[in-house]
Structures are given as C-alpha cells and as structure tokens.
C-alpha cells in the first residue's frame, strides 16, 4: 500500500511541479486577462474529464477487484461507453463558454482544449488501478506534464499567443494517451472497442450515480471559479485561479490516496468487513494528522509561497489561498466514507452526499462571491466540502456501519493553536511554517498515542 501511494505521490510531486513551472511562466508572460482565460479553460477541461469518466472507471475497478467480469471485456466496453460521453461533453464545453464566459479568448481556448477531451477514454487509468500497477499511470502523468511545460515555455516565449496553450494541451494529452495504449496492449489487455449496448447500459446503470457524483464534485471544485469569472471578470479570475490551482492540486493528492486505498477496501468489504472497518479507522487517523498538518503549513507560508510561484502581483491571492487549502484535509477525510459507499454498492448515497455539497456551493456562492469576491469563492468551496463530508458520514453510519470521526479533533486543535501563536508573535512566514511543522510533528505521537500503531497498520494493509 505504501509503495503504491508513494509512487503516485512522487509522480504527482513531479507532475504538479512541472505544471507549476508552466503556469508560473504563463502568469508572468501573459496579461491578467489572458491568464484568466487559461485558468478558465483548463478548469472547464478538468470538469469535462470527470464527466467523460462517468463513474465507469470506478465500476470497472470494483468488478475486477471482486472478480465479476474479465479484463478483456471491460477494457473494450468502458472506453467505448466513455467515447460516447466525450462526443457530447466536448461540444458542450464550447457552448458553455460561449454562453457564460463573456470573453472571446476564453471561448477559442476552450474550443482547442475540448479536442483533448475526446482522447481521454483511451487512457484507461482505471485498468492499471484495478491491477494495482501504478507505474504506467505515474509515467503517463509525468510525460503529459513535461511535454506541456516544455511546449508552453518554447511557444509562449516566441509570442504571447494564448491559443498556443490549447495546442500544447492537445499534444500533451495525445502523447500520454498513446503511451498508455501501448502499455495496455503489451501487458494488460488488447486495445479494442466493443459496441455491446446492452452490456454498456448495464455498466451505465451502476456507474451513473458515481459519474453524476463526480460531475457534482467537479462543480463544487470549479463552480466558484466559473461564477467569479461571470461576476468579476478575468482579472479576479486570474488571481483566484492561481490560489485555486494550488488548492486543487492538493485535492489531487487526496484522490491519489484513495485511488490506492479503494481496491483494498472493496476486497475487504466482501471478505472481512471487520478488518475493513479497522483498516479504515487507522487510515482516517493517519490521514487526519497528515492532511491537517499540510494545510497548517501552507496557511503559515501562504504569502511567500504564492509570490515565489506566480510573482509579486499575485499577493492578492493570499487570503483566498489561506482558505482554499483547508479543502484538502476535509476532502481527504471525507473520501473514506464516500468510497466505502461505492464499494458497498451505495453509489446513489454517495451522489446524495455530493448533491448536498452542490446545493451548498450554489447557495453560498451566490451569497458570498458577489460580496467578498475571491475570499467568498474560497469559503464557498470549504463549506461545500464540509457538507459532503457530513452527509457521507451520516449515510455510511446508517447504511453500512459507523464511520470514524473523532481522530480528526486532536490534530485540528493542535493546528489551530500553532496558527494562533504564529499570528500572535508576528513571526515571518517561512520561520512560522518551519517551526510550526516541527512542533506539530513532535507533538503528534504524544497527543495521539494510537497514531504510530495505526500508521504501521496502513503499511501492512495489503498483507
């Protein structure tokens, strides 16, 4: 388990590092309007990618983990179904931007990025996830980010044409997709399409709630950015987009953790529910201490970190960023309840939890973004994530078994004390961050005596 998570985390560190290089370069080379258009288009593409997956990848993992269908059948059916979705989603992106963006540059860029969305069904990362072979996934992510970063620096360096960003998105996604197709053909399953509509519909019935939940989740993550673009224009969108990029990158690490954890949970739920519950409690405690500690560190170092990444003019992003980083621990912790629901075939309950967050995002966004701008958008995202957690926690307790909650209280209290002390003594951000992390790390096993034992349980999860 640790090797798998470690490999994906290392891959994401490299991937996100390359992405930050590319977007930091763009933030300096492009004007605020153009950079806002880039964040808008890439955000919309991320939303579209989740819609294209449609929950079919998670269903494929469950079917293979619980040995209900063959690899060859699923590897042909799922990309066929996802291609049908992509043929609807890609044009829908362009229409959405044309209707709401109020910026011709953003509409053109979205049109280019939409082409890359049509390639996504054939990446089939879920197949390698089900086989617990994360190497090709990591390699494809790094390949995509490296090509995008290098291409952006080379192309934008010779002229600030924002459409070149869309061109590089097409090239980088195409290269990563081709790589995974080759690896799949050699080691996992033949690459082919199978138009068995009855079987596709059967998959779709189980996947629909998961896919809808993913769309709602993406709405929660990106609706505040899109609403801000409509209410305040592309300049504020650029500043919020910088903070949002770091915040969403953190949420991607949460996805990585549960990406690795989900097949084990799916197996244990059928084979030994008590062992699944014990493993989930251990994971929750470790994730609480780790996730809250990272959010605390980034809160303390917010100003120098953002100016280092994006330049001095992005100091305006600091207040929004200090709020946004707390979506990471909330999402990391709520993932336990959400994915237990999926493994227990309660995907509709997970959709209900996501819808609760979606309602909060719409209501809070309408009230807060118009009044507080970027900070209001950040608070909207945090409130929506908390609503999802609360609903998922309640549904798991009612439908499956009691879900853990109390292990997050001690790390949250310790982090709050450290942040309050740092502000009280008015320490410089980097010193406050380093001292806070050291203090937090030293006190964690003393404040919570079960932490090291549960960490050891996570290390031995697969055995």
CA-based nearest residue to 228, from 106, 132, 350: 106
Rounded to whole angstroms, how far apart are CA atoms 144 and 27?
A: 20
The domain segmentation of the chain, as residue ranges, is 1-195, 205-463
Q: 253 with 6: CB under 8 angstroms? A: no
Tens of pLDDT along 214-255?
777 777 777 777 777 777 666 677 778 777 777 777 777 777
27: its two tokens: 């933030």
Q: What is the pTM of this model?
A: 0.67
pLDDT band at 386 (very low <50, low <70, confident <90, very high): very high
CB 46 within 8 A of CB 247: no
Dist. CA 180–CA 199, nearest whole Å = 24
Name the residue among 302, 399, 310 with its Cα closest to residue 349.
399
d(CA 3, CA 303): 33
417: left (phi over 0), alpha (psi -120 to 50) or beta: alpha
Three-state SS at 300: helix
Backbone conformation region of residue 55, classed left if phi is above 0, alpha if psi is from -120 to 50, else beta: left
Lowest mean pLDDT among 36-50, 223-237, 319-333, 389-403: 223-237
Burial 82-107 (b: 16+ CB within 10 A, else e): bbbbbeebbeebbebbeeebebebbb
pLDDT interval class at 320 (50, 70, 90): confident
- The CA distance from 116 to 138, in Å, is 19
pLDDT in tens, 327-377: 999 988 888 888 888 777 777 888 888 889 888 988 888 888 888 888 888
Q: What is the DSSP string of 11-28?
A: HHHHHHHHHHHHHHHHHH
DSSP code of 313?
A: G
Q: Which string of DSSP letters, residue by residue, matches 88-105?
A: HHHHHHHHHHHHH---HH
C-alpha span between 144 and 18 (Å, rounded): 10
Mean local confidence (pLDDT), 276-301: 88
């Amino acid at each position: 388990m640790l090797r798998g998570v470690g490999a994906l985390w290392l891959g994401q560190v490299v991937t996100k590092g390359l992405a930050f290089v590319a977007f930091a370069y763009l933030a300096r080379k492009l004007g605020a309007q153009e950079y806002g258009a880039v964040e808008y288009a890439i955000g919309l593409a991320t939303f579209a990618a989740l819609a294209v997956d449609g929950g079919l990848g998670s269903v494929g993992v469950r079917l293979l983990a619980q040995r209900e269908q063959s690899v060859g059948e699923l590897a042909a059916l799922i990309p066929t179904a996802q291609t049908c979705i992509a043929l609807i989603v890609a044009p829908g992106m362009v229409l959405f931007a044309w209707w709401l963006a109020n910026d011709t540059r953003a509409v053109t860029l979205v049109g280019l990025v939409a082409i890359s969305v049509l390639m996504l069904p054939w990446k089939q990362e879920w197949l390698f996830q089900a086989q617990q072979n994360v190497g090709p996934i990591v390699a494809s992510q790094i390949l995509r980010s490296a090509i995008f970063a290098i291409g952006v620096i080379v192309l934008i360096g010779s002229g600030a044409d924002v459409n070149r960003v869309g061109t590089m998105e097409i090239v980088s996604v195409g290269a990563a997709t081709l790589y995974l197709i080759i690896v799949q053909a050699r080691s996992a399953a033949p690459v082919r399409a199978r138009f068995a509509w009855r079987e596709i519909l059967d998959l779709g019935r189980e996947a629909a709630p998961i896919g809808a939940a993913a769309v709602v989740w993406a709405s929660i993550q990106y609706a505040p950015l899109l609403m801000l673009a409509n209410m305040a224009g592309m300049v504020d969108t650029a500043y919020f987009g910088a903070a949002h990029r770091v915040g969403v990158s953190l949420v991607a690490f949460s996805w990585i953790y549960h990406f690795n954890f989900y097949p084990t949970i799916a197996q244990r739920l059928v084979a030994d529910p008590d062992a699944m519950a014990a493993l989930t409690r251990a994971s929750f405690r470790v994730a609480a201490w780790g996730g809250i500690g990272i959010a605390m560190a980034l809160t303390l170092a917010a100003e120098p970190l953002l100016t280092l990444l994006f330049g001095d003019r992005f100091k305006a992003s600091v207040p929004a960023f200090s709020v946004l980083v707390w979506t990471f621990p909330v999402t990391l912790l709520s993932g336990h309840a959400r994915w237990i629901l999926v493994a227990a075939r309660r995907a509709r309950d997970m959709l209900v939890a996501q819808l609760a967050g979606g309602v909060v995002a719409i209501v809070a966004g309408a009230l807060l973004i118009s009044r507080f701008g970027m900070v209001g958008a950040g608070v909207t995202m945090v409130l929506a994530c908390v609503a999802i957690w609360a609903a998922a926690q309640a549904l798991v307790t009612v439908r499956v078994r009691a879900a853990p909650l109390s292990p997050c209280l001690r790390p949250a209290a310790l982090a709050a004390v450290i942040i309050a002390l740092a502000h009280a003594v008015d320490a410089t951000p980097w010193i406050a961050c380093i001292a806070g992390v050291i203090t937090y790390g030293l006190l964690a096993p003393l404040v919570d005596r079960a932490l090291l034992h549960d960490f050891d349980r996570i290390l031995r999860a697969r055995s």
